[in-house]
Structure 1
Amino acid sequence: MPARARVESIDVARGIIMILMALDHVHDFFGDLTSQPTNLDTTTAALFFTRWITHFCAPMFFLLTGVGACLTRRRLHKAELARFLLSRGLWLIFLELVVMRFALQFNVDYQVTIITVLWALGWAMIVLAALIWLPAWAIAGMGVAMIVGHNALDGVAPFTFDRLAPLWTVLHVPGPIFDNGRSLVFVAYVLVPWVGVTALGYVLGQVYRMDAAGRRAWLGWLGVGLCVAFVVVRLANVYGDPRPWSTQTSVLWTVMSFIDTNKYPPSLLFLLMTLGPALLLLRAFDRGVPGWLRPALVIGKVPLFFYVLHFFLIHLLAVAASWWRYGRVSEMFESPDLAHFPFSQPSGWGASVPVLYLIWLAVLVLMFPLCRWYAGVKRRRTDWWLSYL
């Protein structure tokens, strides 16, 4: 496969979201899982915003996957692109079910398997392999319909479909799709909204065929439009999210209630709230990447490499911390129940917010040299397999 020219604004955006994503995963392994960060009854402002800022990661990554597919279309025939998306999608599903499942639990007993982002991203690419044969207006229409309309189906429960209930769970409602008492498979990332975001990303990729002024205008107006739409629809408190906002005891907590939108599945308001700023970020970096963000640019050139490897690193750090604090590591290798995923934490395990940030910074420092090395490999070589990691 021919080497592709990099678009730095896209790479640095990818890098930023991977860096933020690592913060969320550090919390998964080192935070107190008995306290939900977005539960306004029990959280703190610091913990809430530590979780909230990571909400931008998944929407932006799905969007940029579509944009990247559109850019790849410049050097591949449509049939070649469809084959690439299909093979890449199947590869991501394999990574999710085998590699990432091991990274999260360090065992292969498959007692508990939670299916997350790579699964949905893989299926989004597979669906996109079919959608690219349609005209752009049709792809855009399907994407908008999935994002805007799916909340109208929130009241439809999986049991409505009897034997097809697992299919509805995969498409729309997070939940278990298999449970025989010994093994449980739970889908956290459903497909319909995320496929829609990827489809719109593919259409958005066409702005990178424009001149710089036109591209920035489109990114700016679309970004502002989505932000305004979020505020207007959220103020109405009628549609677009299963959790209405309410006035709290202070302005800060009222703002927190206003922006506390539903991620599983991603509601219309969740996507408006995150994709609007994402487009504005792409516009901001379209003129160039500031020097202080060059490390993010490096990471953004190898996002899947970073994603897979940083889970192993964080889990290994948690194993080391458990041995240091408790003299045992058994919990780090056992399958937990859903309420204690990814592992059953020992008493007193949860770290404070400042400690979480220190561990996060340590993870980034350890990951950066590896990413820089692998980015160099990808720059020097054009082996076909490099496009899969």
Structure 2
Amino acid sequence: MTKTESWLSGGSRLRSIDLLRGAIMVLMAIDHVRVYSGMPAGGPDPAIFLTRWVTHFCVSGFVFLAGTSAFLYGQKLNDKKKLSIYLITRGLLLVVLELTFIRFCWTFNLDFKAFMLAGVIWMLGWCMVLLSVAIWLPFRAIWITGLIMMTVQQVFHLAPANWAWWHFLYPNSEEGPGWINVLYVLVPWIGVMMAGYGFGKLLTFEPARRNKLCLQIGLSAITIFIVAGSIVAGFGPHNDQPFIFRLLGQQKYPPSQLFLLMTIGPIIALVPFAERTRGWLANVFTIFGRVPFFYYVLHILLIHLLALGLNCILYGSFHQEWYHTAPYASVPEDHRWGLPLLYLVFMLVEGLLYFACRWYARYKLSHPEKIWLKYI
């Protein structure tokens, strides 16, 4: 074992969770570079469509694995009250940071009245708060309730349309609250986190049984998606898109049942392979996966700064006005980057993040006495 692999092993931590979470973070960065490039989210061009599509695994995997990590951390604490307090405090911290510092990193805009976003970190934070209550239920009730919520999520749409606050849970009208843009609602994402919490128990099984169950569950989800998705894509309302685009272009806001099957199934199936994967690339992903929130905040700030610098080089101006409402960027069509430049910036971002995250991961591991480090 090399020196790097030694400190990455981290005792009782499951390497597969860190590795998969790190890979998810890398895919997420592609989409956020796309935001600042001005490139549309998908479209008829296969390269642009796939550039967007591969990033769909990010939010599903991150929420699901957040639930898994909560279960495993609870096993380490062996104290449900301490776990509940941790989930509440960390969840509320994420919500506050989403509305303040993270929003600033996205927009560099201090006019909070003009634009506010309930994004993925907002959703993760509130889901953690809700999970802090759910963990007091019988264990089986937690993950079964999560699966039911994912399956019958549309019942939340039946709330009266004049309940504007309900839009934070699930869309019940065309317009949400006027003071904030709700990008990620809590249903069915809290269900995904609860299901991930239940999945954490499976990961404590002995390796042979764990790997067999992961493959069975993951491949079953993929099969159901292919069969059901093909029926919907083949016999549902048609448009000018090819069949494969209709199959893969599932609804993300809020995520449909097919979207969740498409994105969570492969992640579960990959757990056995991720657990035994080695090499430099696996180590890079594992480093990112050990410090996901640090990576998240830093990557937005870094991409935003690089976009301003590149605009200055290409167009003679920073054009910060394009990003005042990011991630709803408003880059003029004739100033959008092409895919080669998008991926070049993405690789530069990942290179810089690797060194920063490696330093922070080592610092975090070598200072267990600093309790605040577990929140970042």
TM-score, scaled relative to structure 1: 0.87
Is 1:89–1:121's contact at 8 Å kept on the other side of the alignment?
A: yes
* 2:26 aligned partner: 19
**Are 2:307 and 1:307 equivalent residues in the alignment?**
no
Q: Are 1:148 and 2:134 matched, yes or no? A: no
Aligned mates of 1:315, 1:247 — CA distance in 2: 35
- Aligned position for 1:61: 62
Q: 1:359 to 1:72 in 2, by over 3 A?
A: same
How many Å separate the matches in 2 of 1:384 and 1:333? 39
**Structure 1 position 262, deviation (Å):** 0.5
Contact kept, 8 Å, 1:245 with 1:258, in 2: the verdict is no
Corresponding residue of 2:108: 106
Separation in 2, partners of 1:220, 1:197: 19
- Distance in 1 (CA, whole Å) between partners of 2:230 and 2:243 is 12
Q: CA deviation at 1:342?
A: 3.7
- The answer to whether the 8 A contact 1:65-1:198 is kept is yes
Could you give the per-residue CA deviations for residues 166-198 of structure 1, whole angstroms, max 9, x where no partner exists?
A: 22x11112975432xxxx411010001110000
| Cα distance in structure 2, aligned partners of 1:291 and 1:319 | 31
Which range moves more in the overlay, 316-325 or 216-225?
A: 316-325
Mapped contact 2:106–2:323 kept (Cα < 8 A):
no
Secondary structure of 1:237's counterpart equals helix
Q: Confirm or deny: 8 A CA contact 2:41 2:52 kept in the other structure.
A: no
1:104-253 matches, within 5 Å, as 104-110=106-112, 111-152=114-155, 154=157, 156=158, 160-162=160-162, 164-167=163-166, 169-173=167-171, 177-179=176-178, 184-237=179-232, 244=236, 246=238, 253=242
Which amino acid in structure 2 is aligned with residue 171 of structure 1? L
Is the contact made by 1:15 and 1:303 (CA closer than 8 Å) also made in structure 2? yes
1:310 offset after TM fit, Å? 0.5
Contact 2:145 2:191 (8 Å CA) reproduced: yes
Aligned mates of 1:257, 1:99 — CA distance in 2:
37
Query: Aligned in 2, Cα 1:100/1:245: closer, same or farther, shift over 3 Å?
Result: farther
Partner of 1:257: 246
TM-superposed CA distance for 1:328, in Å, is 2.4
Q: 1:176 to 1:115 in 2, by over 3 A?
A: farther
Post-superposition offset of 1:6: 2.0
> 1:347 and 1:67, CA in 2 relative to 1: closer, same or farther beyond 3 A?
closer
Counterpart residue number, 1:75: 76
Deviation string for 1:14-70 (max 9, x for gaps)?
1100000000000000133xx441x4xxx3000000000000011000011011011
Q: Are 1:8 and 2:3 matched, yes or no? A: no
**Any conservation in 2 of the 1:104–1:342 contact (CA below 8 Å)?**
no
Question: Which residue number in structure 2 is paired with residue 359 of structure 1?
Answer: 345
SS of the equivalent of 2:252 reads coil
In 1, distance between residues paired with 2:237 and 2:342? 28
Q: Which runs of 5+ in 2 are unaligned?
A: 1-9
More deviation in 54-63 or 223-232? Answer: 223-232
**Distance in 2, Cα, partners of 1:125 & 1:388:** 12
**Using the alignment, how far apart are the partners of 2:338 and 2:110 within structure 1?**
31
Structure 1 unpaired stretches of 5+: none
Deviation, structure 1 residue 143: 0.4
Residues 1:90 and 2:92 aligned together: yes
Letter in 1 for 2:83: L
